[in-house]
Structure 1
Amino acid sequence: MSHNKKTITIITVVVLVLALVIGWCAWRKHVTSTKETQASANTSSSSSTNKAKKKKTPVLSDKQKEQNKTIALQMEKDMRNWGVDSLADPHQWDKQSADQVLSALRTPDLPDFPDSGIVGFDVDPSWGKNAISYVCSQDNAIIYAYCSIMPDNQTWWKSEVWGTGTRWVDEPKSTAYNDGKVRVKGTVRAILVTNGDTYSLGGYKAVTPAWRDYAINDLLTIKDGKVSWIEHDADEYWWLNPYFNEWTPDNVAKNIGGGNRIAIPVQGDLNWNGLNQTGITKVLRHPESEGDLLGKVDWSMWEDISFTSNPGCQNCPANGQ
């Protein structure tokens, strides 16, 4: 009887162990199945989300991209081609009358932005030609005294500097993207003309403008047929974009003056009529001799001029004495 009880006990333990093993296996199978189902659901959900994202990303047609490029290029040309023509060949003024040359180099009045219909952002009231002039924004009483006669930027700058302007050197390059943005790259040339030239030879006087090239790398966002924003990857000096920047006198002459200089011989006196300078805006350094300014000035137009070649002069002293 004792032997039978022991046998029954062993059988009972074996049955219990088998039951536990079978139960544990069933539980693991359930857990694994649940995780696989969730992973499958997550993968499916992620796939659906990615597809939805892909569907939401607009893909512009070639025609739409071309339209965006047209708008971006128009914007870039409108805001950067202004003032004195910096691409005009200075050799056309060689030995011409001083009045004629200075007239060609005088900053013309700026129009309002050529096509405001493509401007899709708020224009700051401190930007552009009609904004309150620099002298009117100063606390210095002496400087502020000029405010009444130079109330806006255009009046003030034409009183300070004879000629300023920029032009695209070549047709800017553009690349349109699917997100509505357009990259515009190219080179813009600036010109600056200030009074102060004193050099003369053989009856001719020098006018010595400065030219400088600037690399442009802009990213324009086009939305609903308008430029909604412009990101500049290069320095955005105000004279390169006078419509959407605040005008200041800081370092304009030093900056542009660091470019190329060409001495133009002209006939007659240099009449800077119209300037009413405050003294706060620096002018270009002008050469006092052909070896001045570390040889940066191009004197090629003076090669056939000597002390005795004084046009229209009778009984002139020999050798300029």
Structure 2
Amino acid sequence: MSHNKKTITIITAVVLVLALVIGWCAWRKHVTSTKETQASANTSSSSSTNKAKKKTPVLSDKQKEQNKTIALQMEKDMRNWGVDSLADPHQWAKQPADQVLAALRTPDNIETPADMPTSMKINQGWGSNAPSYVCNTFDYQSLCDTMPTSQAWWKNEVWGTGTRWVKDPTAKVYDDGKVRVKGKVRTILVTSGDTYSEGDYNALTPAWRDYQIDDLLTIENGKVSDIEYEGDQYWWINPFLSQWTPDKVADSLGYGTRIAIPVSGGLNWNGMNPTGITRVLNAPESKGDLDGKVDWSMWDDVSFSSNTGCQNCPAS
């Protein structure tokens, strides 16, 4: 009986040893297989990455120059519009009010440039000919018939608006076909409401403001297919790719430069009937009004001696 127990013990020990050996071998095989699979995957991934890198096109100097030209043309087409914001206001000092107002009036028939080099889908709500703000707002539907388009509505709200590049923007072309365009644009805003006068001269006080532009344009097949904007994109500096709304226009421009232009004769805002929806620029009631934010230097050499109706006017 003792001999049988000893035999059984030996057999059990042998079986356990064999099981351990078999288990260890199986574990090693699994670990080795896993490492090989991971190594293979890493090699495959590295190979795919290398292939992808190799497939990234490198533009020739000629292609880069073409992309640069396309990007700059796009930026000029999409941002230059309306009243010339770069015109020197000193040219209008002491000129007839009607002539000055005509020069500062938003022009009719503002159209998206037909040759603007883009393949982007243009939203039907963007641009000058889109349905106007009053047509899109339930409370003002009654005004839609008289102001059906954005430009018709905007010309009714404010006298003049426009934007120009201050100088030609810069462009940096990348190997992937994208172009970084940077620069500065200037907007002018003229709203009705000016009342200050001395003698025969009335003060017209437009506002100007500069905005920094930093855009990344994707160029594909000779067209701009996408634009990534850095910073705020107000519609008045990008009118053809934006919806025109009354929000923030006067608020934003009001923080810019205000200049009081002395013009001869009364200010007739013919063609306007503001709805009150859009905020307008605050009009100075005196030369010290608006915390001195208005530049009155053009009035320094204005003579009032010939005006008998002027009270307390300085002598010539």
Matched, 1:62 2:55: no
Matched, 1:218 2:218: no
Provide the TM-score with structure 1 as the length reference: 0.83
1:3: which partner in 2? Answer: none
- The letter for the 2-side match of 1:183 is R
Alignment of 1:270-289 (within 5 A): 270-289=267-286
Alignment of 1:1-321 (within 5 A): 45-116=44-115, 118-140=117-139, 143-310=140-307, 316=309, 319=312
Q: Is the 8 A contact 1:82 1:110 kept in 2?
A: no
Distance 1:196 1:37, change over 3 A: closer
Distance 2:75 2:147 in 1: 29
Superposed displacement of residue 48, structure 1: 3.2
1:51 is paired with a residue whose SS is helix
Structure 1 stretch displaced more, 31-40 or 77-86 = 31-40
Q: Is the 8 A contact 2:304 2:310 kept in 1?
A: no
**What is the aligned residue count?**
292
Distance 1:40 1:285, change over 3 A: closer
CA deviations on 1:114-156 (whole Å, 9 max, x unpaired) are 144622111111101111111111111xx22211110010111
Distance 2:81 2:311 in 1: 45
Q: Higher Cα Rg: structure 1 or 2? A: 1
Q: What do you get for the CA RMSD once the two structures are aligned?
A: 2.6
Superposed displacement of residue 307, structure 1: 4.2
Distance 1:102 1:70 in 2: 36
Distance 1:35 1:128 in 2: 60
Q: Is the 8 A contact 1:307 1:319 kept in 2?
A: no
2:13: which partner in 1? Answer: none
Distance 2:49 2:38 in 1: 16
1:319 is paired with a residue whose SS is coil
Superposed displacement of residue 202, structure 1: 3.0
Percent identity, aligned pairs only, is 62
Superposed displacement of residue 201, structure 1: 1.1
Q: Is the 8 A contact 1:86 1:165 kept in 2?
A: yes
Distance 1:204 1:36 in 2: 89
1:72 is paired with a residue whose SS is helix
Superposed displacement of residue 43, structure 1: 6.7
Q: Is the 8 A contact 1:87 1:169 kept in 2?
A: yes
2:125 is paired with a residue whose SS is coil
Superposed displacement of residue 54, structure 1: 1.7
Distance 1:61 1:271, change over 3 A: same
Q: Is the 8 A contact 2:74 2:116 kept in 1?
A: no
Distance 1:121 1:232 in 2: 15
Q: Is the 8 A contact 2:73 2:116 kept in 1?
A: no
Distance 2:277 2:184 in 1: 30
1:218 is paired with a residue whose SS is strand
Distance 1:131 1:39 in 2: 57
CA deviations on 1:208-251 (whole Å, 9 max, x unpaired) are 00000111111111111111111111100000011010110012
Unaligned stretches of 5+ residues in structure 1: 1-19
Distance 2:116 2:137 in 1: 33
